[in-house]
Structures are given as C-alpha cells and as structure tokens.
Amino acid sequence: MFQVYQLRDFGMRGNSHNVDRAEMWEIQKYKEFEFEEDARECVIVENMKHTELPQKLWKYESCKETLIDRFCFTDDAFYCDRRFFLGKPDMEKMETALNSRGITVQK
C-alpha cells in the first residue's frame, strides 16, 4: 500500500498586529492507495489545491511536468512548501529546510 500524508498548519497569533506569528503543524495520514501511480496523482492534485504550485506553473508553462515533479517529489528546495507527501514526511529534513529560510522550529 502507498500512503499519502498531509501536513496541516494552524496559525497562532501572538498579538493583534500579527507580528509575533507562530504555527502549529500536524502530520496525518490522508489516504492509502494500492498503486503508486494513484498515490502520486493524489499528491499532485492536493498540492495543486493547497499550495502555491499553480502560481509557479503559470510562470513556467513550458516545463510544467518537470516543475510538478520537482515541487511534489524530488526537489528539497520545495520540501517545506508541500502539504501532501508520498509516504510520511521526514521532519528532520523539514526542520532543516525551514531553518535554511530563517524560520525557527520549536518542538
């Protein structure tokens, strides 16, 4: 079975001006599929709905399939932008990606 996981984020405001902003993240199993192709399609469709992937595709129409593959599966530069994953996401990798963007992770 091939499992798709969802990363859900919940914004938590520290004050009325939203200067001290924090998020709580939760990983949960979204769906299971018998075939990898079906699971991959689910990851692509859901990331298209819940991320900035469509805006990125609009800019780079000529290499659409490559960008979808990089965003959803292969390029770690997009790791913390994904919200759906094929298999359980590696939270150490996620923390490293967030830290590289200057985002502090508290456990």
1-22 tens-digit pLDDT: 999 999 987 766 655 665 555 6
Which is higher by pLDDT, 28 or 20? 28
Asked if 8 contacts 82 with a C-beta cutoff of 8 angstroms, the reply is no
> In the chain, pLDDT over 90 holds for what percent of residues?
45
Sign of the CA dihedral running 37, 94, 65, 53:
positive
Which is higher by pLDDT, 53 or 15? 53
Whole-prediction pTM value?
Answer: 0.82
pLDDT attached to residue 57: 76
Measured distance CA(32)–CA(52) in Å, rounded: 24
Measured distance CA(54)–CA(85) in Å, rounded: 17
Closest to 89 in 3D by CA, of 12, 5, 24, 3: 5
pLDDT attached to residue 31: 97
Mean pLDDT of 70-75: 93
Asked if 106 contacts 98 with a C-beta cutoff of 8 angstroms, the reply is no
pLDDT attached to residue 87: 96
| Window from 25-34, 44-53, 74-83, 94-103 with minimum mean pLDDT | 94-103
